[in-house]
């Protein structure tokens, strides 16, 4: 059958070895891209005519916030794969993505509130994007909590998959309702919507950094997937070999 590759992917040992290589590639590429993007963004991109230099946090904030949401969608894909093909690797992926995604959400909130201080004059406002990011963080936290509370790993994985799928259906509803709510309560001047179009010298480094952070996320996810695999397969012979080898 043409499904051989698919089953190979299901083998933890095969994945563990491959992921090690991919992880290194991701790591180096990420380092290179981030170096270029960040230096360019912080050092050479022009200052914003309204916010001056404080806007430069977008080179961290925007990619991180973007990824925090993208990782949730990736988790939903894993959940579907787990239910349809019962592939254990998808469950490992979900577990890793939840932790990494939570990390990115916290970073996005943190960088957002640092940016908020010079822009809004306060660390926290109930802005639509901040609020829905906060809710996203709680969703990630719920997944991590649920998994750690259920002893049976098989059951924990499937319970998390259900929660992820319900969450992913709800996320757009949450996002739109929060936007509506914030429009209801806040004067529009509080928002940064009507910005002039960014010049290329601003958005090119942003794009490079976005790619860079994607690779960072991939690196972290692969690394934590490998750890999870070692933990789950700790009884098997090949894990003992790996541990003795390293």
Partner 1 sequence: MSVEHRFLVRELKLVLARPGDFFKPMWFLILVISMVPLALSPDSKLLGEIGSAMIWVATLLALLLNADQLFRDDFVDGVLEQWLFFNRPLFWLVILKLFCHWLFYVVPLILVTPLAGMMLSVPNDVMIALLVTLLLATPALTCFSALGAALTLGTARSGILGVLVMLPLFAPVIILAAGVLTRASDGSDILPLLALLGAFSIAAATLLPLAVGVALRLNIGGSS
Q: Give contact residues for partner 1 (rule: CB under 8 A).
A: 135, 138-139, 141-143, 145-146, 149-152, 154-156, 158-159, 162-163, 165-167, 169-170, 173-174, 177-178, 180-181, 184
As measured in angstroms, the least distance from the Cβ of 227 to partner 1 is 23
The CA–CA distances, whole Å, from 232 to 53, 100, 111, 159 equal 47, 19, 35, 17
How many whole angstroms separate alpha carbon 63 and alpha carbon 205?
11
As measured in angstroms, the least distance from the Cβ of 84 to partner 1 is 13
Closer by beta carbon to partner 1, 110 or else 181: 181
As measured in angstroms, the least distance from the Cβ of 134 to partner 1 is 9
Closer by beta carbon to partner 1, 184 or else 197: 184
Token pair listed for 142: 């719920």
How many whole angstroms separate alpha carbon 125 and alpha carbon 136?
17
Among residues 30, 146, 36, the alpha carbon closest in space to that of 98 is found at 146
Torsion of CA 9, 12, 18, 23, to 10 degrees: 110
As measured in angstroms, the least distance from the Cβ of 185 to partner 1 is 9
Torsion of CA 57, 58, 61, 64, to 10 degrees: -130
Closer by beta carbon to partner 1, 135 or else 211: 135
Closer by beta carbon to partner 1, 25 or else 166: 166
- Any idea which residue has 């009884």 for tokens? 235
As measured in angstroms, the least distance from the Cβ of 125 to partner 1 is 17
Closer by beta carbon to partner 1, 9 or else 181: 181
Among residues 222, 224, 202, 204, the alpha carbon closest in space to that of 147 is found at 224
Closer by beta carbon to partner 1, 145 or else 199: 145
As measured in angstroms, the least distance from the Cβ of 150 to partner 1 is 4
CB-based contact 36:208 (threshold 8 Å)? yes
Residue 66: CB atoms within 10 A of its CB come to: 15
């Amino acid at each position: 059958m043409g499904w051989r590759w698919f089953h190979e992917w299901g083998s933890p040992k095969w994945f563990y070895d491959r992921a090690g290589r991919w992880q290194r590639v991701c790591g180096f590429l990420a380092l290179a891209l981030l170096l270029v993007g960040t230096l360019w963004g912080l050092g050479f991109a022009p200052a914003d005519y309204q916010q001056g230099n404080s806007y430069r946090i977008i080179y961290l904030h925007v990619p991180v916030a973007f990824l925090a949401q993208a990782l949730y969608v990736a988790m939903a894909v894993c959940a579907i794969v787990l239910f349809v093909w019962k592939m254990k690797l998808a469950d490992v992926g979900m577990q890793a993505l939840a932790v990494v995604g939570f990390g990115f959400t916290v970073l996005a909130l943190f960088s957002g509130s640092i940016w908020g201080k010079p822009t809004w004059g306060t660390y926290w406002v109930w802005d639509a994007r901040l609020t829905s990011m906060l809710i996203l963080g709680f969703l990630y936290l719920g997944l991590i909590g649920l998994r750690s509370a259920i002893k049976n790993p098989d059951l924990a994985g499937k319970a998390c998959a259900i929660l992820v799928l319900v969450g992913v259906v709800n996320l757009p509803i949450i996002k739109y309702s929060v936007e509506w709510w914030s429009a209801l309560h806040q004067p529009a001047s509080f928002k940064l919507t009507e910005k002039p179009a960014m010049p290329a010298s601003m958005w090119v480094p942003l794009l490079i950094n976005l790619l860079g952070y994607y690779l960072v996320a991939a690196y972290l996810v692969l690394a934590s997937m490998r750890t999870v695999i070692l933990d789950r397969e700790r009884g098997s012979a090949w894990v003992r070999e790996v541990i003795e080898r390293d």
